């Protein structure tokens, strides 16, 4: 793997400022009002283990340049793999032909570049993505496999994966901006299958983020992650089916924030606001969540997958308050949609790679803490469900209806956790779900370990979070009769 300095040197040599300025001029040659150039070099590795042996190992290098030209709401985008100047010039010309105005004069070169003045949200001194060699990565995977199998005799199958991304990028645009950043991500995922008679249950656990190598050697070791996955699988062997119906639900802190991400966050993104396709477009200043609920999106959470110094358009990351005390107060903006609506970009322009044009995307999205103790929230429920671990979820953008899988839950009876519950789902409508929050814990946790968000075929790393929350009522899918 190239060293950090070697990667920086390669990118600066491959896309010098003079060439970037030429590409911007070419992209605006047919009347485009704005143009930018995005150069990237990324090294990706992954290892997976199944049935006690390494099934797959990959090492890949992704490098190239994307050129965007914008005229009004029309975008021309083209990219070239690699850094050959002739190919980059052709990409700029293609983008220019798409976003063209036959009546306009060529715009010429951009003003002298100025380097973006943006502070990094945190600094990595020995990132896991760059510090671990292939031998060390394989050792992590094998240690996790051994620990999961050793946890309990009922663990029959284990799968482990470890993946890293070391990414460096540069952005230059026709306003004279020059910005550079890097993203070092790593993720360890363990899945354990427990068998007992005819019962089969699976448990998951993960570690990682934009973290130092010490994260895996002292904070979240392979043994700890494996033990968590195995313990969850064994616990679910004795779990009961949930009671179907609508009743009080307490949702865990941390990853429980996937609910606000799916049910609320997507409807706050500037493209859907500008086009009027989001119900939130007409709700600014209105009560959209319960009193006391404050929702934030920020790319400045230390060590999270969803954090960065500048976004993929060169805008500095920032903290954006979306909902304050239940009232809708703001939206998320990328450059294009901000320009078209007269707003200021919030640092939410993100792209999967140089092969993709930027979209308005969330970063780390969470609900701010309240003053209730988590224990008191559970103790206040006569009969309900405590969701300790949530899995995936989905929301229908047409009507706002959502469904979330609960991978581990507990029945609440007379304010106490009585027995584990499996196969529960939470269902409702994202347009009003947050209005049913009637208790907000003091234990905010933001999970920046494993989250990835898909939109228009592009996937980006994100973080989610919340304190423990009590909902007065959520529809719980189940087969048991209370």
Q: CB atoms < 10 A from the CB of 119, how many?
A: 9
Q: Could you tell me which residue, 394 or 164, shows the higher pLDDT?
A: 164
Q: What confidence score (pLDDT) does residue 145 get?
A: 98
Q: What confidence score (pLDDT) does residue 33 get?
A: 93
Mean pLDDT, residues 58-79: 96
Give 164's strand partners.
Answer: 45, 186
| Mean pLDDT, all residues of the chain | 94
Q: What confidence score (pLDDT) does residue 4 get?
A: 44
Question: For residue 69, is pLDDT > 70?
Answer: yes
Q: What confidence score (pLDDT) does residue 9 get?
A: 64
> Where does the pLDDT of residue 1 fall: very low under 50, low under 70, confident under 90, or very high at 90 and above?
very low
Distances (CA, A) of 440 to 238, 363, 370, 385: 30, 22, 5, 16
Mean pLDDT, residues 220-236: 98
Q: 89 by DSSP, 3-state: which?
A: helix
Same domain (yes/no): 161, 310: no
Least confident of 2-16, 91-105, 120-134: 2-16
Q: What confidence score (pLDDT) does residue 406 get?
A: 95
- C-alpha–C-alpha distance, residues 149 and 190, integer Å: 11
Is the residue at 482 inside a domain? no
> Where does the pLDDT of residue 401 fall: very low under 50, low under 70, confident under 90, or very high at 90 and above?
confident
Same domain (yes/no): 314, 420: yes
Q: How many domains does the chain have?
A: 2
Same domain (yes/no): 302, 415: yes
Is the residue at 112 inside a domain? yes
- CATH of residue 121: 3.30.2290.10
Question: For residue 482, is pLDDT > 70?
Answer: no
Same domain (yes/no): 337, 214: no
Is the residue at 21 inside a domain? yes
Question: For residue 153, is pLDDT > 50?
Answer: yes
> Where does the pLDDT of residue 398 fall: very low under 50, low under 70, confident under 90, or very high at 90 and above?
low
Same domain (yes/no): 277, 307: yes
Q: What confidence score (pLDDT) does residue 479 get?
A: 63
Pick from 237, 253, 277: which residue ends a domain?
237
Mean pLDDT, residues 214-227: 97
CA pseudo-torsion sign 427, 431, 366, 180: positive
- C-alpha–C-alpha distance, residues 247 and 472, integer Å: 7
Question: For residue 72, is pLDDT > 50?
Answer: yes
419 burial level (CB within 10 Å; 0-12, 13-18, 19+) = exposed
pLDDT tens digits for range 353-388: 999 999 999 999 999 999 999 999 999 999 999 999
Same domain (yes/no): 327, 437: yes
Same domain (yes/no): 165, 273: no
Least confident of 27-41, 108-122, 159-173, 283-297: 108-122
Q: What confidence score (pLDDT) does residue 105 get?
A: 72
Q: What is the full DSSP assignment across 384-450?
A: EEEEEEEEEEEE-TTT-EEEEEEEEEEEEETTEEEEEE-SEEEEEETTTGGGGEEEEBS--EEE-SS
- Name the DSSP class of 157: E
Which residue is associated with the tokens 């609506």? 341
Q: What confidence score (pLDDT) does residue 5 get?
A: 45
Pick from 237, 259, 281: which residue ends a domain?
237
- C-alpha–C-alpha distance, residues 221 and 226, integer Å: 9
* Cα 80 → chain centroid: 26
> Where does the pLDDT of residue 480 fall: very low under 50, low under 70, confident under 90, or very high at 90 and above?
low
What residue numbers bound the domain in which 42 lies?
4-237
Which residue is associated with the tokens 């009002």? 33
Same domain (yes/no): 217, 336: no
- Name the DSSP class of 326: T
Question: For residue 25, is pLDDT > 70?
Answer: yes
pLDDT tens digits for range 348-362: 999 999 999 999 999
Is the residue at 313 inside a domain? yes
pLDDT > 70 fraction of the chain, expressed in percent and rounded: 97
Pick from 189, 221, 237: which residue ends a domain?
237
Is the residue at 201 inside a domain? yes
**Closest Cα to residue 473, out of 433, 440, 444?**
433
Is the residue at 406 inside a domain? yes
Q: What confidence score (pLDDT) does residue 400 get?
A: 80
Mean pLDDT, residues 151-170: 97
Is the residue at 289 inside a domain? yes
This prediction has a pTM of: 0.94
Same domain (yes/no): 116, 253: no
pLDDT tens digits for range 273-297: 999 999 899 999 999 999 999 999 9
Same domain (yes/no): 15, 99: yes
Token pair belonging to 473 = 């009522």
pLDDT tens digits for range 184-208: 999 999 999 999 999 999 999 999 9
- C-alpha–C-alpha distance, residues 422 and 410, integer Å: 8
Same domain (yes/no): 160, 252: no
Is the residue at 185 inside a domain? yes
- C-alpha–C-alpha distance, residues 70 and 80, integer Å: 18
- C-alpha–C-alpha distance, residues 258 and 140, integer Å: 28
- C-alpha–C-alpha distance, residues 409 and 241, integer Å: 10
Same domain (yes/no): 273, 219: no
Question: For residue 6, is pLDDT > 60?
Answer: no
Question: For residue 3, is pLDDT > 60?
Answer: no
Question: For residue 7, is pLDDT > 70?
Answer: no
């Amino acid at each position: 793997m190239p060293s950090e300095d070697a990667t920086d040197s390669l990118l600066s040599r491959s896309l010098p400022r003079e060439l970037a300025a030429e590409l911007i001029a070419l992209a605006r040659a047919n009347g485009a009002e704005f143009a930018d150039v995005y150069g990237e070099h990324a090294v990706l590795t992954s290892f997976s283990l199944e049935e006690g042996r390494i099934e797959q190992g990959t090492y890949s290098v992704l490098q190239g340049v994307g050129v965007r030209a914008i005229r009004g709401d029309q975008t021309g985008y083209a990219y070239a793999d690699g850094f050959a100047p002739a190919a980059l010039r052709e990409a700029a010309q293609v983008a220019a032909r798409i976003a063209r105005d036959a009546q306009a004069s060529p715009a010429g070169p951009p003003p002298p570049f100025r380097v973006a003045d943006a502070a990094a949200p945190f600094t990595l001194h020995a990132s896991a993505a760059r510090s671990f060699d292939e031998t060390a990565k394989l050792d992590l995977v094998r240690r996790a496999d051994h620990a999961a199998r050793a946890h309990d005799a009922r663990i029959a199958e284990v799968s482990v994966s470890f993946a890293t991304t070391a990414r460096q990028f540069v952005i230059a645009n026709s306003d004279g901006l020059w910005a550079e950043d890097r993203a070092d991500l790593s993720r360890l995922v363990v899945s354990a299958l427990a068998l007992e008679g005819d019962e089969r249950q699976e448990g998951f656990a993960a570690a990682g983020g934009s973290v130092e190598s010490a994260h895996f050697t002292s904070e979240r070791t392979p043994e700890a992650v494996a033990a968590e996955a195995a313990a969850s699988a064994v616990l679910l062997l004795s779990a009961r089916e949930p009671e179907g119906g609508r009743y009080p639900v307490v949702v865990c802190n941390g990853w429980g924030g996937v609910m606000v991400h799916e049910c609320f966050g997507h409807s706050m993104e500037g493209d859907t606001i500008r086009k009027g396709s989001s119900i939130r477009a007409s709700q600014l200043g209105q009560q959209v969540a319960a009193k006391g609920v404050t929702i934030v999106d920020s790319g400045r959470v230390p060590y999270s997958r969803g954090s960065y110094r500048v976004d993929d358009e060169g805008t500095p990351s920032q903290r954006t308050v979306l909902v304050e005390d239940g009232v809708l107060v703001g939206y998320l903006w990328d450059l294009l949609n901000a320009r078209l609506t007269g707003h200021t970009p919030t640092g939410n322009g993100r792209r999967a790679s140089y092969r993709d044009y930027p979209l308005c995307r969330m970063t780390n999205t969470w609900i701010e803490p309240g003053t209730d103790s988590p224990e008191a929230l559970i103790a206040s429920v006569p009969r309900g469900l405590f969701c300790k671990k949530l899995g995936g979820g989905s929301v229908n953008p047409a009507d706002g209806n959502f469904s979330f899988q609960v991978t581990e839950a507990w029945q609440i009876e007379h304010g106490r956790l009585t027995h584990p519950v499996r196969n529960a789902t939470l269902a409702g409508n994202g347009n009003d779900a947050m209005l049913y929050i009637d208790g907000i814990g003091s234990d905010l946790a933001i999970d920046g370990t494993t989250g990835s968000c898909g939109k228009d075929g592009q996937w980006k790393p994100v973080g989610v979070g919340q304190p423990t929350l009590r909902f007065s009522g959520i529809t719980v899918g189940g087969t048991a009769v209370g």
